[in-house]
A and B are shown apart, each in its own frame.
Chain A
Amino acid sequence: MNELPADVLRNRDTRTSAARGHADSTAAFAGRSVLVAVHDATAAAAALFALNGIARRLVVCTPDIIPEARGEIARRAGVDAVVDAPLRSDGHRRHCSTDWLTEWVLLTSGTSGAPKLVVHTIATLTAAFASSVLAPPARPIVWGTFYDIRRYGGLQILLRAWLSGAPIVIREPDESIGDYLARAGASRVTHLSGTPSHWRRALMSPDARSIAPRYVRLSGEVADQAVLTALKARYPEARVAHAFASTEAGLGFEVDDGLEGFPASLLTSNASPGSRQADVEIAVVDGSLRLRSPRTALCYLDDNTPIADAVGWVDTGDMIERRGDRCHFLGRRSGLINVGGLKVYPEEVEAAINRHPAVRASLVRSTRSSITGSLVAADVVLQPHVDGGGGAAACRREIVDLCRRALPPHKIPATIRFVAALDVSATGKVARRA
């Protein structure tokens, strides 16, 4: 492994990394299960690199996890050490230890609101680019990502920069897209990644003009034609690519032909005979996208449930429709709603709505948004005694208030529609599909 490029730490002033003297040096973490819970993204990156190969397990806590919720995650992950302040740098330690093949545990949203814990290793996390980073680039690369580097999409960029020794400009949790763009521009970022929602916001920022990227990458949500077209218009020199990836399945594929969806020729069954066997196989079975690759996570931590089936395939749960020689994303089979890269399980919103005494039943579904990809919409059946006029209007306000108290903003229904009955002819998973 390489040593940590100094650039990772050069992005911000050193106030945070220097000031806190009480943090342990890396030796204290040997063989432990470590919760990395520093708020500062740059300090978290430094801690992850310092402890890879030393800690038995690194639990990569995202900054949105409130301190009260960390205890439960720590319990589930058998955590016996916590990094909650920047690590004091070990001057003598120049290279990563390989004492442990450290488990990297990433957090991703779960049905109940509690995050799922997904177990990766450096091997699975870097499989998508481990071979390509060895070749020196024709022109110097400066990486950037709108993602927090503790989420899969951001961690991919961080590791890619790390392996190749290229600098990366890390976005801090409280840094606005505009401020980050200005900083990325000043650092001459050439390769910039984010969700379509990040990019739409970037395009609405005056600072969008401060960057001149050669590579613009979208992942984490379905990229629609409008955002792809707008990015190509704004950055005509850039290669605009959208990728399919998930925390569990890893990076599937990347498409850079400027069109939404992906070509059916990517499907393994359609690969022309004799073509080079890629390390990722792609298939659509029963309408959903399946991937088989060395980039897939090992298992869920709680019960060691494997991510892939017995022969290595992962069912991503993303529904695909083929139109001609193009495959398009229809949404999630489970009804999972992706609001600007943040997941919402309909069940948790329905549970909040159903607490209102006048609600008989509710169905929460995704509605398309040109800004955040999707928004949460609710169909609500009221008890028969509630009249359709003033009573319903009051209910709407109360339901929103209930949701506001129980849920973060992206999970609160953007629209609530009162209906006489929920669609019973199309039940279960199908009914959830928008």
Chain B
Amino acid sequence: MAVRADVIAQIRQVAEDNGQQLPPLTDELVLLDSGLDSLSIAIIVARLEERLGIDPFSDPGADEAAYPVTLGDFIRFYERAAGGRVAESGYTH
């Protein structure tokens, strides 16, 4: 759950810095519909790299080249890169 909590915390922090209201952060939320622009996502990715030491966007891997579309995808993207810590479940799809 650690990765998930970090991701959510960074998203909230960047939105707060921008004085931005976020919709409910469900796994189904399409990131581009969240109100976060590319710059905000870039800052989230940079801060997550500082915290977690990983940036899955810089190396999407040969078999998994797809970029994440939903928040759930985004979190899994990080969990996979962090070492397959997908165990805790809770995803609806």
Contacts and interface: CB of A to CB of B under 8 A. Distances in A.
Interface residues on A, range: 20 to 34
B32 A204 contact: yes
Contacts of B57: 200, 226, 370-371
Contacts of A232: 65
Contacts, number: 75
B65 A201 contact: no
A2 interface: no
25 contacts: A176-B32, A177-B32, A178-B32, A200-B57, A200-B67, A204-B32, A204-B69, A205-B32, A224-B58, A226-B59, A229-B62, A230-B65, A232-B65, A340-B38, A340-B39, A370-B58, A371-B42, A371-B45, A372-B38, A372-B39, A375-B42, A375-B46, A414-B43, A415-B46, A415-B47
Interface of A: 176-178, 197, 200-201, 203-206, 208, 224, 226, 229-230, 232-234, 339-340, 367, 369-372, 375, 400, 409-410, 414-415
B31 A204 contact: yes
Given A224-B58, A369-B45, A375-B46, A230 B39 contact: no
Contacts of A197: 38
Interface of B: 17-18, 30-33, 38-39, 41-43, 45-47, 50, 55, 57-60, 62, 65-69
A157 B72 CA distance: 36
Contacts of A203: 66-67
Nearest to B50: A415
Contacts of A234: 65-66
A178 B32 CA distance: 8
A226 B60 contact: yes
B5 to A, nearest CB: 21
Contact of A410 (B39, B66, B68): B39
A370 B55 contact: yes
Given A201-B38, A204-B68, A339-B39, A414 B46 contact: yes
A123 B66 CA distance: 40
B38 A229 contact: no
Given A372-B38, A400-B17, 8 more contacts: A197-B38, A203-B66, A204-B41, A205-B30, A206-B69, A226-B58, A230-B65, A233-B65
A422 to B, nearest CB: 21
Tell me the dominant secondary structure on chain A's binding face: helix
> Which of A203, A208, A339, A370 has most B Cβ within 10 Å?
A370
Contacts of B31: 204
Nearest to B58: A370
Given A177-B32, A205-B32, A226-B58, A371 B66 contact: no
Contacts of A375: 42-43, 46
B42 A229 contact: no
Given A230-B66, A234-B66, A372 B60 contact: no
> Which of B38, B46, B47 has most A Cβ within 10 Å?
B38
Given A206-B69, A372-B39, A229 B60 contact: yes
Contacts of A414: 42-43, 46
Contacts of B50: 415
B32 A340 contact: no
8 closest Cβ contacts across the A-B interface? A370-B57, A233-B65, A371-B42, A203-B67, A372-B42, A370-B58, A230-B65, A369-B42
B85 to A, nearest CB: 21
Contacts of A226: 57-60
